Amino acid sequence: MAGIYLHIPFCVSRCIYCDFYSTTRGADKAGYVRALKREISLRAGYLAVEGRLQPVETVYWGGGTPSTLETGWMSEVFDTLYAAYPIVPDAEITLEANPDDLSASKLAALGRLPFNRISMGVQTFSDEKLRLLRRRHTGRQAVEAVKACQDAGFDNVSLDLIYGLPRQTLGQWESDVDTALRLGVQHLSAYALIYEEGTRLWDMRRQHLVGEADEETSLGMFNLLMEKMEEAGFEHYEISNFARKGFRSRHNSGYWNGTPYLGCGPSAHSYDGQNRQWNRPDLDAYLRGVGRCVCAEDFMDAPWIEKETLDTKERYNDLVVTALRTCEGIDIAALRHKFGSRLAEYCLQNAAPYLQSGKLEVNHSFGASPEGRLRLTRDGLFLSDGIMSDLLCVEG
């Protein structure tokens, strides 16, 4: 199986915290759609194994703000996708959307396309905080957009929330989580606010216009989130992700379990199961480059594509920082089979102090792995970055 990611780089305006590649140049949309369709068609071979295309079980439209794209252009892209790839009948097909884009007429048009999952960037229901973040919607619009999605027949809706916002209290965060749960969504992703260099938020902190949440507050918010979601019957299947039974994000799960995927569009990454490559985050270079391509071979050494060949150590490190994020954790027998006993024992040796302190455990309840799975405990979730770092291989 494989996945496809489509990067739609257009935004009406930029949020102060966002470091994803995007542009407000909406006039380039028509040319971009033509280039995207060409890349989709010409790069089908990337997902081939021994000359046969792998079935595609997830398609994810991310951005940027994909919901700003006209549905007529979306339809053209879908026609190209289905002509080029064996997309399975029950594929998960996700659209990232802003609440203020989801009018009744837009949702009706989206309902005529293959989309069956909406991932909505809400971030918070507080109008004060939304204005600070430079979001275009209000809290009320977010609530109404979720209900409109449900009324339009979308029964797989995910919300993104951010905690640790400047001057955000534990009570305000609890209100955001409670509001999301009352809406009856199937999935929730929640992330601590990160001050990324190069963003407006980074500059605002440097100018002392905003203050970063302290560690105790952020940990308290994460703990409250876990308690609330567990009480509501959600599965905490990845550090930042919660789902009702049967509603995990299949596409994102593919990133964490090593499923190959193709990324199309500027800044989009691809992974063939062994190595990575990505398009440079430059719309102009993308439009010029793809426009010159006439066959699949033109993508092999294109100057606007970067490549990274991963050695054994790097593939091991990738597995640690992806698999350990999930509730299943690292399959120890599979780790040994894939990387050999030396790296497997290295992993277990470095995990030993955390096993002893109860931050990690070897669990035998997921599948029939003979050696069990190394995974974070609830206490370990609060120290996940440090634990993963200590399991990484830094030697050649």
Q: What φ, ψ does residue 386 adopt, rounded to 5°?
A: -65, -40
Q: What would the mean pLDDT of 86-113 be, rounded to a whole number?
A: 97
Give the residue-averaged pLDDT of 230-243: 98
Beta bridge partners of 4: 59, 262
Instruction: Give the contacts of 390 (CB within 8 A, at least 6 positions apart).
Output: 350, 354
Whole-angstrom distance, CA of residue 107 vs CA of residue 164: 32
Provide the residue ranges of all domains of the chain, joining segments of one domain with +: 2-255, 312-391
What's the mean pLDDT in 228-255?
97
- Contacts with 140 (C-beta within 8 Å, 6 or more apart), sequence order: none
The pLDDT score that the predictor gives to residue 365 is 78
How does the average pLDDT of the chain come out, rounded?
Answer: 94
Q: What is the largest CA-CA distance in the chain?
A: 58
Determine contact, residues 98/56, Cβ cutoff 8 Å: no
What pLDDT score does 366 carry? Answer: 66
Residue 396 has pLDDT above 60, yes or no: no
Rounded to a whole number, what is the distance in angstroms from the first to the last CA of the chain? 32
**Distance between CA atoms of residues 187 and 185, nearest Å:** 6
Residue with tokens 């007529």: 72
21-56 pLDDT tens trace = 898 887 789 999 999 999 999 998 888 888 888 999
Q: Compute the average pLDDT of residues 9-28.
A: 87
Question: Residue 367 has what pLDDT?
Answer: 64
Query: Tokens 């339009």 sit at which residue?
Result: 152
For Cα atoms 250, 255, 258, give the angle at the middle one, nearest 5 degrees: 110
pLDDT tens digits for 54-81? 999 999 999 999 999 999 999 999 999 9
What confidence score (pLDDT) does residue 370 get? 82
C-beta separation of 347 from 320 below 8 A: yes
Residues of the chain above pLDDT 70, percent: 99
Q: pLDDT tens digit string along 192-211?
A: 999 999 999 999 999 999 99
CATH architecture of 312-391: Orthogonal Bundle (1.10)
Q: Which residues contact 188 (CB under 8 A, 6 or more apart)?
A: 158, 159, 161, 180, 229, 234, 241, 242, 243
Confidence of residue 300 (pLDDT cuts 50, 70, 90): confident
pLDDT of residue 394: 84
Would you state the pLDDT for residue 395? 73
Which listed CATH number (3.40.50.1000, 3.90.1150.220, 3.40.470.10, 3.80.30.20) goes with 2-255? Answer: 3.80.30.20
- Three-class DSSP category at 139: helix
Cα separation, 186 vs 167, whole angstroms: 29
- Confidence check: pLDDT of 266 > 80: yes
Residue with tokens 């719309």: 283
175, HSE (Cβ side, Cα atoms, 13 Å): 11
Q: How many residues does the chain have?
A: 396
Q: How confident is the model at residue 297 (pLDDT cuts 50, 70, 90)?
A: confident
On the question of a common fold for 2-255 and 312-391, the answer reads no
- With bands split at pLDDT 50, 70 and 90, how would you rate the model's confidence at 368? low
Confidence of residue 4 (pLDDT cuts 50, 70, 90): very high
Q: Distance (Å, rounded) from C-alpha 295 to C-alpha 72?
A: 26
360: tokens are: 């990690």
Structure tokens at 333: 């027998």
Asked if 262 and 81 count as a contact pair (C-beta separation under 8 A), the reply is no
- In tens, the pLDDT along 115-149 reads 999 999 999 999 999 999 999 999 999 999 999 99
